[in-house]
Structure 1
Amino acid sequence: MLGILLPLILFVALADTISNSSWIALERTMLWSLRVETESMLSQFAVWCSMLVTVISVCILCYLLYRQQWRTALFWLCSVSGAAMMCNIMKGTIQRARPELWLDAPDTSFGFPSGHATHSMAIVITLLVLLRLSSWHKVVLLSGFLFAALVGLSRMYLGYHYPSDIVAGWMVALCWVMTLRIIFNQNYLTLQAGQDTVLHFLHKKFLL
């Protein structure tokens, strides 16, 4: 329940703060500090980092469907797609404008919370739920949060979001996925049992 309540409280606190002019000025300063030197290579990396979110999400879903792990695939789809839908609902409700500090950010849709931040964190939290009994759990924990952080930084570097947009997106994803974990039967939410793990698949394929 803490995984639901704490992110929800933080999200509400952020939503209540973003209209404060002093807070906006601070966030703009933070964005400009990321943009002191504009380098094409960094910009390209940021774009690819943002695109990687969708690629990873679709690839994992396709893998689960290929392995006929229907319940796990349903949980994955509800977690990732549901988090994105919740994010869009929040965007339309709060209607915070994007920073628009430089020409790299032509998007005219609302910015709070960040869709990419929500999507990336939903991927990470869902994987942690599915791999919680696996030896891969710590690897996913470290690499996953690094990935989510890079996605968040890339969105700020490109000028699409304020820092609070990113943090709010993370909170939406955490709250949503942890809620679904309670709703779903957690006995089915694992990639360790039976034929669900990649390691088991490789062992059966090449070592037997």
Structure 2
Amino acid sequence: MITLLVLGIAGPWFVFIAVAEDIWESGGFIGDQPLLMWVHQQQSPSLDQVALILTYIGGPWVIGGATVAIGGVLLWRHHCAKTWFFVLSMGGAMLFNLLAKVIFGRPRPALWASIAPAKFYSFPSGHAMGSAALAAALVFLLWDTHWRWTVVCSSSLFALGVGLSRVYLGVHYPSDVLAGWVCSLGWVASLHVFFSPDWAQLRQWWRAGIAYWQ
């Protein structure tokens, strides 16, 4: 539990706050634009297609559909706590993304004409947050099964590919994607701890202590 708190919660939130502070004060990382231009120099027709596919799969329609489907299966199998955990993981990540975009109001990169232009604000990346939230939630849900490492590897590659596709397409800075990844990881890990049996035991002790002093 302590390791999870430090690595899974404190670490991602620390990185997110550091990135957000840098963007708030100076508009972004010094290396944002050079790295974006370097990625653009690797452009090719085949990579264009891969990026378009990944960015579509990591978009709101597919991620939203997957959320409804997985949440529905969990509810149908009467896993109430897991359903709440999964729905809050996805819904909370998207709500946090919307609020952060409005608060920071960071314009999207405009270094070249993208083959998949996007609107609204840039920070943090919604695609990165959605894919990372889905990946992290599935890892926690399936951690105690024999599918554990298959899910860890496949979901991590999925979130990585979706985030990189947004940079490749020129619609997000690298810092947007990094912030999206760590924000979702911190959020989902926080929920996992909240829904864990250890936390339930702490809540019982807390209620017992309050009842004792009343």
Higher mean alpha-carbon deviation, 67-76 vs 162-171, is at 67-76
Aligned to 1:30: 35
Distance in 1 of aligned mates of 2:28 and 2:71: 42
Aligned to 1:202: none
What one-letter code is carried by the residue in structure 1 that aligns with 2:91? S
For the pair 1:20 / 2:30, whether they are aligned, the reply is no
Q: Cα 1:88–1:186, aligned 2, differ >3 Å: closer, same or farther? A: farther
Distance in 1 of aligned mates of 2:22 and 2:156: 25
Higher mean alpha-carbon deviation, 156-165 vs 15-24, is at 15-24
Aligned to 1:96: 106
Matched residue of 1:152: which SS? helix
Matched-pair contact (CA < 8 Å) for 1:31–1:162: yes
Distance in 2 of aligned mates of 1:58 and 1:127: 14
Q: Cα 1:52–1:65, aligned 2, differ >3 Å: closer, same or farther? A: farther
For the pair 1:164 / 2:175, whether they are aligned, the reply is yes
Q: Which of 113, 124, 130 is residue 113 of structure 1 equivalent to?
A: 124
What one-letter code is carried by the residue in structure 1 that aligns with 2:26? N
Q: Which of 139, 158, 170 is residue 150 of structure 2 equivalent to?
A: 139
Distance in 2 of aligned mates of 1:21 and 1:112: 10
Distance in 1 of aligned mates of 2:57 and 2:128: 12
1:3-56 CA-to-partner distances (Å, cap 9, x unmatched) read 2221111111111223537834x2111111111153333223212212223154
Aligned residues, how many? 186
Q: Cα 1:45–1:16, aligned 2, differ >3 Å: closer, same or farther? A: same
Matched residue of 1:35: which SS? helix
Give the CA deviation at 1:137.
1.0
What one-letter code is carried by the residue in structure 2 that aligns with 1:52? I
Matched-pair contact (CA < 8 Å) for 1:100–1:106: no
Q: Which of 39, 46, 49 is residue 41 of structure 1 equivalent to?
A: 46
Matched-pair contact (CA < 8 Å) for 1:11–1:172: yes
Matched-pair contact (CA < 8 Å) for 1:84–1:115: yes
Distance in 1 of aligned mates of 2:55 and 2:76: 26
Q: Which of 151, 158, 164 is residue 162 of structure 2 equivalent to?
A: 151
Q: Cα 1:81–1:117, aligned 2, differ >3 Å: closer, same or farther? A: same
Q: Cα 1:135–1:173, aligned 2, differ >3 Å: closer, same or farther? A: same
Q: What stretches of structure 1 move > 4 A for 4+ residues in a row? A: none
Q: Which runs of 5+ in 2 are unaligned?
A: 199-214
What one-letter code is carried by the residue in structure 1 that aligns with 2:145? S
Distance in 2 of aligned mates of 1:149 and 1:96: 22
Query: How does the TM-score come out when normalised to structure 1?
Result: 0.80
Distance in 1 of aligned mates of 2:147 and 2:51: 27
Same amino acid, percent of matched pairs: 36
CA RMSD of aligned residues (A): 2.2
Matched-pair contact (CA < 8 Å) for 1:46–1:155: yes
Matched-pair contact (CA < 8 Å) for 1:102–1:159: yes
Matched residue of 2:109: which SS? coil
Query: How does the TM-score come out when normalised to structure 2?
Result: 0.78
